[in-house]
């Protein structure tokens, strides 16, 4: 039984299962498409439910602050929740990466953390580019709905392309994606570290000019390509008869990618709306 191959950094350490299981009985429970789809639906349902709750709480508080003070504000727990969900997501990712057997238990918890992250950014990103007044005039909710629909539209299009064989990633393409991902991570790290020392460099995430929009489009394209890697991981796992818990690994990786796609779509739509 060979290790699964994928260039997805969120799943890179999950491309194999315990080799001690290779001698297990033939009738052991194995990874199936139906089980993976069910796990994915559960995780996305958790993300959506908690995301909506957090979005409502933050936007409700912020609107009250706008009405009383005329300026946008989040409750005291807003930004700590955002930062905590980011750190928590990284911790869960590392644990699942090194201990994939924990996925059936930790993936739902990670989904809850991702829900907080998504809900907070669904308020912060539109307000960052549109301002509080336009956000509460209805533009914010519209952008969030458009981003959700576009995310699932991208996922459906990539799945159709993958299933028909039109979209396939070879070895070179996977290496290129991995290289671009490392470059993006280094750029994010540079932004964060330099800002701590008061050094400012061009911020493609905040720039609303042509180059900034192009940068966000690039990030969205890169995130979309990871969907192909997720599909391949799931397909190869099913073909190889991977253990049952790998269904949750596949669903977890797909959830992480979809959250990334959603955030980039929301950022792109917000930038484009700010230039209208």
Q: Please compute, for residue 191, the number of CA atoms within 13 A of its CA located in the half-sphere on the CB side.
A: 11
pLDDT band at 20 (very low <50, low <70, confident <90, very high): very low
Alpha-carbon distance values, 5 to 132, 176, 177 (Å): 45, 15, 14
For residue 174, tell me if it sits in a domain.
Answer: yes
For residue 61, tell me if it sits in a domain.
Answer: yes
For residue 231, tell me if it sits in a domain.
Answer: yes
DSSP calls for 92-115: HHHHHHH-GGGHHHHHHHHHHHHH
Domain count, the chain: 1
212-257 pLDDT, tens per residue? 999 999 999 999 999 999 999 999 999 988 899 999 999 999 999 9
Cα–Cα dist 24/177, whole Å: 35
For residue 24, tell me if it sits in a domain.
Answer: no
DSSP calls for 134-167: HIIIIIHHHHHHHHHHHHHHHHHHHHHHHHTTSS
Cα–Cα dist 185/190, whole Å: 9
196-207 pLDDT, tens per residue? 888 888 999 999
Range of the domain at 171: 30-274
For residue 1, tell me if it sits in a domain.
Answer: no
Alpha-carbon distance values, 57 to 53, 68, 109, 122, 124 (Å): 6, 17, 20, 12, 13
For residue 199, tell me if it sits in a domain.
Answer: yes
For residue 16, tell me if it sits in a domain.
Answer: no
Cα–Cα dist 268/250, whole Å: 27
Mean pLDDT over 79-90 rounds to 93
For residue 8, tell me if it sits in a domain.
Answer: no
Asked whether the predicted pLDDT for residue 27 surpasses 50, the reply is: no
């Amino acid at each position: 039984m060979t290790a699964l191959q994928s260039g997805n950094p969120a799943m890179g350490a999950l491309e194999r299962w315990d080799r001690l299981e290779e001698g297990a009985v033939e009738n052991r429970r194995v990874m199936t498409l139906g089980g993976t789809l069910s796990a994915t639906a559960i995780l996305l349902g958790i993300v959506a439910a908690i995301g909506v709750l957090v979005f409502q709480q933050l936007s409700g508080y912020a609107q009250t602050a706008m009405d009383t003070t005329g300026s946008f504000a989040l409750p005291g727990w807003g930004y700590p929740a955002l930062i905590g969900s980011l750190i928590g997501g990284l911790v869960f990712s590392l644990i699942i990466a090194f201990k994939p057997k924990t996925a059936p238990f930790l993936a739902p918890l990670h989904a809850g953390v991702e829900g907080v992250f998504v809900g907070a950014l669904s308020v912060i990103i539109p307000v960052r580019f549109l301002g509080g007044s336009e956000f509460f005039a209805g533009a914010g909710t519209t952008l969030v709905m458009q981003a959700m629909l576009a995310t699932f539209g991208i996922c459906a299009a990539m799945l159709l392309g993958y299933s028909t064989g039109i979209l396939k990633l070879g070895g070179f393409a996977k290496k290129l994606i991995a290289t671009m991902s490392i470059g993006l991570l280094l750029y994010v790290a540079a932004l964060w570290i330099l800002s701590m020392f008061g050094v400012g460099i061009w911020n493609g995430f905040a720039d609303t000019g042509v180059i900034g929009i192009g940068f966000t489009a690039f990030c969205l394209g890169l995130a979309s390509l990871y969907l192909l890697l997720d599909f391949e991981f799931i397909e190869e796992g099913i073909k190889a008869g991977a253990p049952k818990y790998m269904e949750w690994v596949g669903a977890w990786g797909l959830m992480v990618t979809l959250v990334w796609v959603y955030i980039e779509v929301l950022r792109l739509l917000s930038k484009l709306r700010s230039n209208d």
